[in-house]
Amino acid sequence: MSESATGDAHGVTGGAGPATGAAGRAGREIDPVAAGAGDGTRAVRAGLPEPAKYEPTLPGPVFAAHYHLPGDPTGPYTYGRDENPTWTLLERAVGELESPGQGGAETLVFASGMAAISAVLFSQLRAGDVCVLPDDGYQALPLVRAQLETYGIEVRTAPTGGDAQLDVLDGAKLLWIETPSNPGLDVCDIRRLAEAAHARGALVAVDNTLATPLGQRPLELGADFAVASGTKQLTGHGDILLGYVVGRDPEAMAAVRRWRKIVGAIPGPMEAWLAHRSIATLQMRVDRQSATALAVAEALRERPEVTGLRYPGLPDDPAHKIAARQMRRYGCVVSFTLPTRARADRFLDALRLVDDATSFGGVRSTAERRGRWGGDAVPEGFIRLSVGAEDREDLVADVLRALDASAA
């Protein structure tokens, strides 16, 4: 096991120094008890340093631009853009969730989800390479596509549903998967796509934001990278911007690390500490939000004015069969369409327990008409509803009442 906070010769003052060198990057030696633990136990204890007398169980954030560094720089902490003890503990925690019980996975945290996405794409691709993206993914992906193309990288796109990206894989260097897709909630078969991509010599990255590592584990399904915005349900309080990349290939992850160093897309120590603290409640939040999201989806299914209802946990959802094979929880987001833009706006205005706000995954429910941003190929009345931690009966009643009120 790694050294305790006070026993680590390379630690910083305050008892926050985690294991050093490669162990600090890839995580502690795997504890077989923790490896077989349940999700709640793992979330509560993920990334914690070895107990040390008189030290906090989760050390506070380390604010440092530089460290004492006599002689040759052989330790893990030299300069604040490269490493930080608070990041290290968070990276261990995320790695233990995305790849529990397995050694060799490395995690890197970033200033935002888009920073993490960009780090994978721009560190792995070169001029002349081919990249495959979903055409129904996060609305910033078209901006990413335009930037990739300015660097001489060919970008192909296909929908998430029906594993349609298989049709454009030949010759690709990297396949980018987003499942469930945002905001349409389509699902693809990660294992099938990963096997097909690897057979063609392509790397596979999976955006795991909507699912969280408690919903699915892309690395176990064959992906080379699991990437996510920790801004959303992972941290769950709508007060942190954060992203991460997890991968097992040392060379590929070294390139991602180098990109982070070059562009400086690093999280602040306070954000990293808040994120780690928040992960302790992840299983409780995810279970409650998923159960309530299913109840909301079932209630919406009975409303004649609602069309295009999507939630992978509904047995009759087009994605349910694949989702049930690879997902352990179906997430907190429900999407549906109301007849007109005006009806959608009235619905959002009538809600009392749901904030009209973007993003998703927080403990307070949010909803928005996605068409207001542009960039998503959705109808004007399309609603993305993120279910929070409110009581199930209260939230369902509020949604149904707002539908009634918006009909006038």
- Here the tokens at position 54 are 């008189």
In this prediction the pTM is 0.90
Q: What is the pLDDT of residue 355?
A: 97
Q: Residue 95 in contact with residue 19, Cβ under 8 Å?
A: no
Kindly give the interhelix angle for 141-150 and 113-124, rounded to the nearest 10 degrees. Answer: 30
Per-residue pLDDT of the chain (408 residues; tens, 9 = 90+): 333 333 333 233 333 333 333 333 444 444 534 567 899 999 999 999 999 999 999 999 999 999 999 888 888 999 999 999 999 999 999 999 999 987 789 999 999 999 999 999 999 999 999 999 999 999 899 999 999 999 999 999 999 999 999 999 999 999 999 999 999 999 999 999 999 999 999 999 999 999 999 999 999 999 999 999 999 999 999 999 999 999 999 999 999 999 999 999 999 999 999 999 999 999 999 999 999 999 999 999 999 999 999 999 999 999 999 999 999 999 999 999 999 999 999 999 999 999 999 999 999 999 999 888 777 789 999 999 999 999 999 999 999 999 999 997
- Here the tokens at position 49 are 């340093």
Q: What is the side-by-side order of every strand in the sheet holding 130-134?
A: 106-110, 243-247, 225-229, 203-207, 174-178, 130-134, 154-158
**Cα torsion angle, 187, 189, 190, 195, sign:** negative
Kindly give the interhelix angle for 250-263 and 113-124, rounded to the nearest 10 degrees. Answer: 120
